[in-house]
Amino acid sequence: MKKTKLGQTQLEVSELCFGALPMGPLQAKISEEAGGEIILTALRKGVNFIDTAEIYKTYPYIRRALDRFEGEVIIATKSPAHTYADMEKSIELALDELGRKKIDIFLLHAARVTPAVFEERAGAFQCLVDYKEKGILKAIGLSTHVVSVVEKAAQIPEVDIISPIVNKLGMGIVGGSIDDMLRAIRKAHAAGKGLYGMEALAGGHLITELKDAFDFVRKIPELSSIAVGMVKPEELEINLKIFNDGELPANLKGDLKASKRLHILTNICVGCGTCVKICPNAALSLVDGKARVDRNSCIVCGYCNPVCPEFALRLV
């Protein structure tokens, strides 16, 4: 599989990045054993890059694969920490649960924020800077859905890596269109930042246009890799064929369908608004005292699910 260096780092990553979010408790909730097996298969077939995050709770899945694989594996993780102390705890947790002495890429998890994120979370970012200087982290940066945050990150010398949301529909992009995001990506690349994209399938909205959706992001020259969530061996095999420019089955399109949707149990929802505040895509709102989802905006990221105090949200 094609591999490319991430910006000015020495990290050479596969074009297909294994997105670990969907297999964990926020979404599919498959077993750690099954998840570890899929990741291991991907590693053995040429994928050397895994994207995860503290809130995904998928470190144990990845650890199962790492313990049985001897090759190089580059891991990117993220933390929602705001303070120095909390980021330090996040780094220690990742090192411990992944069984590693170093983490390749550590990002501020900053889906829907403003360019002031670097001031508002200065302590957390300084911790990343310090741990990179210690040699415990190899590269640092942030992941975001916001056009202006990508532009801001491009101006910060300490930022090595940016992971922006990007798909041909522009779904989930905050503060601009897909064209605006592409311009921001070009600026960041020109500034020497390494970039890898996420949500190429717009949370499943583009699943029936699988190859076209992937072709769109693969043709963005500034992106070194694309993080793609996978929970089934069949998904992995199809994605490997696409990213290795292989021939796809003739009947593939008829077999594809979005595998999950967000459901709100209105008989349980108390209208507290917690999910509305956490949603990075403004897909949730309160109507008549109950949470309501706009399916045209929802990319099924699952961030809302764990914060609901009444357990009224389901990804099915």
pLDDT category of residue 163 using cuts at 50, 70 and 90: very high
- Please report, to the nearest 10 degrees, the dihedral formed by the alpha carbons of residues 8, 186, 159, 227 taken in order: -80
Domain positions in the chain? 3-255, 262-315
Judge whether 3-255 and 262-315 match in fold: no
- Report which residue type is found at 36: G
List residues bridging with 225 in a β-sheet: 196
Using the predicted structure, report yes or no on whether residue 257 has a pLDDT greater than 60. Answer: no
**pLDDT 10s digits, 64-98:** 999 999 999 999 999 999 999 999 999 999 999 99
Contact 200, 169 (CB under 8 A): no
d(CA 160, CA 277): 29
**pLDDT 10s digits, 123-139:** 999 999 999 999 999 99
Mean pLDDT, all residues of the chain: 92
Segment 49-61 mean pLDDT: 97
Top mean pLDDT of 66-75, 240-249, 302-311 is at 66-75
Looking up tokens 């020497």 gives: 192
**pLDDT 10s digits, 169-219:** 999 899 999 999 999 999 999 999 999 999 999 988 888 889 999 999 999
Segment 231-251 mean pLDDT: 89
What is the CATH code of the structural domain delimited by 262-315?
A: 3.30.70.20
| CATH topology for the 3-255 domain | TIM Barrel (3.20.20)
3-class SS of residue 165: strand
Contact 302, 26 (CB under 8 A): yes
Instruction: Strands of 54-158 (E only): list them.
Output: 74-79, 103-109, 137-144
Segment 263-290 mean pLDDT: 88
